Structure 1
Amino acid sequence: MEHPAHPRSAPGTRLRARDLGIVIGRGVTGPLNAITDVPGVRVGHTTVRRPPGVHSGVTAVVPDAVGPRTPLPAGVFTGNGYGKLVGTTQLAELGTLETPVLLTSTLSAFRVADALVGWVLERPGCEEVRSLNPVVGECNDGFLSDIRARPVHEEHVRAALDAASGGPVAEGCVGAGTGTVALGFKAGVGTASRTPDLAGRRCTVGVLVQANFGGTLRVLGRTVTPGSMGLEADDPAPDGETGSCMVVVATDAPLDARQLTRAVRRAVFALARSGAAYSHGSGDYAVAFSTRPGTGVPVADAGLGPLFEAVLDGVEEAVLNSLLAAETTTGFGGRTVPALPADRLLSALTAGPFGPGECAGPRSPG
């Protein structure tokens, strides 16, 4: 079964962190609490699932204005470089993004990059383009999917790009997150947003994560494991070497490449809040871009604190959303990874002392 994913379709019908009363940080979210709250940013997924052996896909983050003739200021940060982030060196050297950012499975990254180049070259205004820097990130979904089959093809990439839209973003076992595992649980794609005030100007910061990293989950300071949730799971990383996380940060704040690089470091730092182990074999990367280059008065470095906090809180919440939206999956070789059960998580969080506002308890989704 191979198809574009629609917002709030089957993989995304479970409750998110805030629906459960779990609030990360003090910041105000955007209307959708998603990366698409940033004006001009769209997301598309294609899920490639052929049970039991294939659970993979591709996710596209598409800024409307981006192109080789209209690059956007961008930054990139590598927490641990055991990965295949295509396009890193030029992005770091020039501080510009020329294409949408695509996420997929490790061994499919190169095919996805080629398909992205073809798609961009066909866009209006690109008839004379002779050089292009595609940006494609990846995570290793080989624990649950037959990664050597390289199941993501050009048609899947084009479907994700063509279907990219604003509005709610499907999360969990969808697109590039279909086969990923994080912190002992089935994970996937997650998203969140914040609207910090920068020197009297309200801006939006949105994040999207492809979560696939090792460590021990922490939620509001409480350690959470499959065992503590009464679950049995096949160990996805017996040698501690499996992992990775890709984070995409978008903002409409008028930041330059240097400031975006400062901000995007916080995206990788934020994974530690969720319990990331940053192991030898983990590729931990983040890419950030601004959709409003050169507009308005530049933001002074001293005023970036609220934006840094927005990135930290947004990534932590997006990781939790990726876990809560995911579904228990049995995949390649009969291996099974359980989903994080919302009811048991809430019971664990409310069983001990917490500070004011750390866990408001369950409530009906609003």
Structure 2
Amino acid sequence: MRQGRTYWFVTVVFVCICAIQSVSCANKFEENIFFNYYNSTGDLVHVYNLVENQSYPYDEACHPAGRFAIVVFGWKIDCEKYFVRDLITNLTEYRGGCVICMNYTSFSQASNYLRLKRSFKDIQNVLKLKLDFLEQQGFDPNNGYLYGFSFGANLALGAAKDFGAKKIGEIDVCEIVGMAFDSSYSGSPNHRKAAKNVQCLHTSRQYGTKYRSSCHQDWILGDCGDKQLAAPLSSFGSHGVCPLFYNSAFEHDFLAVENEKNCTADQEAENWPNGFKMGYRETRKSQVRGQLFAPTYGSFPFNVPDETAQGSVRHFEPEIDLSDLEKSGSDDYAMDSDYDSET
């Protein structure tokens, strides 16, 4: 009888420990992923995670009746990266409302990509819970915008789909990374479910997804979306310069052109309005579906302008600090090239 009691006691303790560890594991992501809020001048004003349950001091610019935007960066990047801060500045100026950067630096700085990929679902779930929270606070998902780059593009798309098909107003993503993601699809993914409009930019064959017709607009940039003249500006090459193009497009037009290089394409857009351009500022996206092409250049502002187009009045060239570019080179991705065989 005593032996039975001992067994019962040990069993209860084991179950309790497992339950505690499970909660702890879940909280690890909710506690260590933060959402940085920026004011109308682009200054960081609030930092929250999901477990603090703090009251949000909304103001004239950021309140539930207005817009919200969430920026999600990629591997080995953070909210202070120069092109992330440039995007935050652009969003506060051209969009307004709540501008938020999802800061998952505790995980994004993983020493190798494979380690980060293993945490993908947990990180994605935190973003989905944040969207739930914003909706509970009174925000209209239709007034929502998500931006994701590389690994962050998959996070933004996945979280939005889990949140609800086409609930979010718009999503723009730069270079959806294909490594360890493409192999998980049984066929071509449908990212159009993630938002009412999903715009995807493709700049590299090496790291970018092989699926280039899964969004409402799929921009094939530069040399057939495979290579860019500006590639030397990033240690991730043509993959890493995609955010520079997107930021530049707030003030410089990357105009749609015919597929002059005869790039491989399976769903080319049949037509588009005159002056149709890549980026956030294009307001006629609902009129265009399919793959579009735009040339790029090797130095800022990276576009090949139409001499007849009206240029922007502000000409600001962001300072690119080469020491601030991604610290890792192509070998960091290459070391996980056999990932697919492990899953």
TM-score (structure 2 length as normaliser): 0.31
Higher relative contact order (CA 8 A, sep 6+): 1
TM-score (structure 1 length as normaliser): 0.30
Compare the two structures and name the one with the higher helix fraction: 2
Report which of the two structures shows the higher radius of gyration computed on alpha carbons.
2
Compare the two structures and name the one with the higher strand fraction: 1
